[in-house]
């Protein structure tokens, strides 16, 4: 078992980062992660104005995977997510969907008891532990960890959870995998700009799919295949995800385009992952049972 300490964090994904760990494919790694605010808020009385926004959305890593070369696909299977026993949610002026209606910031500290987050005396929310930020280095330049794109990043998809395999592009040698921004609870949309942000640990297994062409990023669960797309415009993100899923069905399942479109219209789900980041993220999901094996 390999482990990466939360002392090793990055705030942008870039080929310029030196790897903090090198592993072979099929190895298991545990990433210790900070919360999305780097632990800057610990009580409802903390001063929101004192936040250092350059320390938001830290990702632990990056990790170099031997044998991963440009054109390959990095398969990251999430074996276990462990979270701390308290989380924080924030919102405020110019934040999230309702930011234009809010005049001041709000902080809510939420304890976690067993399998529930205690929102109030009368509301206990079942946990749905997930990874908000997971990605590889882009081919060129640097992308802030808070931004989702073709490399993955801050997709904030609640399906990136235990048992799921996230498929990411290898743009540079070694892929340079990093992840963080755990949520104890988060709904589709993440409308207030945060989930229940927590620190924790994520144990994954990494593998390399050699020279495989897929509409990345993707998620594969026990029952579904999901294609994700991010764009500044929500409609465009949805269109991209649908087009990419149709391409996948034609390539993998042997469908004609019209037939694939019909199948998605009848059995596929178009879901909003988040609508609060610089680029919005949409996923299209289809049950594996409808995809023929060729």
Q: Please give the mean pLDDT across all residues of the chain.
A: 96
Q: What is the mean pLDDT of residues 225-239?
A: 98
Tokens of 117: 């987050």
DSSP tag of 19 = P
Dihedral of alpha carbons 10, 16, 20, 26, sign? positive
Residue 272 pLDDT exceeds 90: yes
Rounded to an integer, what distance in angstroms lies between the CA atom of residue 185 and that of residue 192?
13
Q: Give residue-wise pLDDT tens across range 87-98.
A: 999 999 999 999
Q: Are 101 and 92 in contact (CB under 8 A)?
A: no
- The rounded percent of the chain whose pLDDT value lies above 90 is 94
Q: Name the phi and psi angles at 105, rounded to 5.
A: -80, 155
Angle between the N-to-C axes of helices 257-267 and 234-248, in degrees from 0 to 180, rounded to the nearest 10? 120
Among 2-6, 92-96, 257-261, the range scoring the smallest mean pLDDT is 92-96
**Where residue 294 falls among pLDDT bands split at 50, 70, 90?**
low
- Whole-angstrom CA distances from 136 to 128, 160, 199, 223 are 24, 15, 21, 25
Per-residue confidence (pLDDT) for residue 44, from 0 to 100: 87
Q: Give residue-wise pLDDT tens across range 103-156.
A: 999 999 999 999 999 999 999 999 999 999 999 999 999 999 999 999 999 999
Architecture of the domain made up of 2-83+130-209: Sandwich (2.60)
Q: Are 78 and 160 in contact (CB under 8 A)?
A: yes
Rounded to an integer, what distance in angstroms lies between the CA atom of residue 154 and that of residue 172?
19
Nearest CA-CA partner of 74 in 221, 180, 172: 172
Residue 1 pLDDT exceeds 90: no
The residue ranges of every structural domain in the chain are: 2-83+130-209, 222-289
Instruction: Read off the pTM.
Output: 0.97
**Where residue 275 falls among pLDDT bands split at 50, 70, 90?**
very high
Q: What is the mean pLDDT of residues 180-193?
A: 98
Rounded to an integer, what distance in angstroms lies between the CA atom of residue 291 and that of residue 253?
6
206 burial type by CB count under 10 A (0-12 exposed, 13-18 middle, 19+ buried): buried
Nearest CA-CA partner of 184 in 235, 119, 243, 138: 119
3.20.20.70, 3.10.28.20, 3.40.470.10, 1.10.287.610: which CATH number matches 222-289?
A: 3.10.28.20
Per-residue confidence (pLDDT) for residue 117, from 0 to 100: 98
Nearest CA-CA partner of 269 in 219, 213, 231, 233: 219
Residue 252 pLDDT exceeds 90: yes
Residue 51 pLDDT exceeds 90: no
Q: What is the mean pLDDT of residues 196-209?
A: 98
């Amino acid at each position: 078992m390999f482990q990466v300490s939360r002392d090793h964090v990055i705030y942008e994904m870039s080929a310029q980062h030196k790897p903090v760990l090198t592993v072979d494919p099929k190895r298991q790694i545990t990433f210790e992660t900070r919360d999305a605010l780097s632990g800057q808020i610990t009580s409802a009385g903390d001063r929101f104005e004192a936040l250092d926004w350059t320390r938001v959305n830290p990702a632990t890593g990056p990790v170099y995977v031997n044998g991963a070369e440009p054109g390959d696909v990095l398969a990251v299977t999430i074996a276990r997510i462990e979270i701390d026993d308290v989380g924080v949610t924030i919102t405020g002026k110019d934040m999230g969907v309702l930011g234009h209606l809010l005049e001041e910031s709000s902080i809510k500290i939420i304890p976690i008891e067993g399998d529930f987050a205690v929102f109030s005396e009368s509301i206990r929310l079942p946990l749905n532990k997930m990874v908000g930020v997971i990605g590889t280095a882009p081919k060129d330049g640097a992308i802030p960890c808070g931004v989702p794109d073709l490399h993955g990043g801050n997709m904030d998809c609640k399906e990136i959870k235990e048992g799921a395999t996230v498929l990411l592009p290898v743009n540079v040698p070694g892929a340079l995998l990093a992840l963080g921004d755990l949520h104890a609870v988060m709904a589709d949309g993440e409308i207030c700009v945060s989930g229940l942000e927590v620190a924790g640990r994520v144990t994954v297994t990494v593998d390399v799919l050699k020279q495989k062409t897929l509409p990345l990023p993707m998620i594969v669960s026990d029952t579904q295949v999901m294609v994700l797309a991010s764009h500044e415009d929500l409609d465009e993100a949805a269109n991209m995800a649908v087009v990419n899923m149709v391409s996948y069905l034609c390539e993998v399942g042997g469908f004609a385009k019209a037939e694939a479109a019909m199948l998605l219209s009848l059995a596929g789900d178009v879901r909003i992952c988040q609508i609060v980041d610089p680029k919005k993220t949409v996923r299209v999901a289809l049950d594996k049972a409808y995809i023929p094996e060729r």
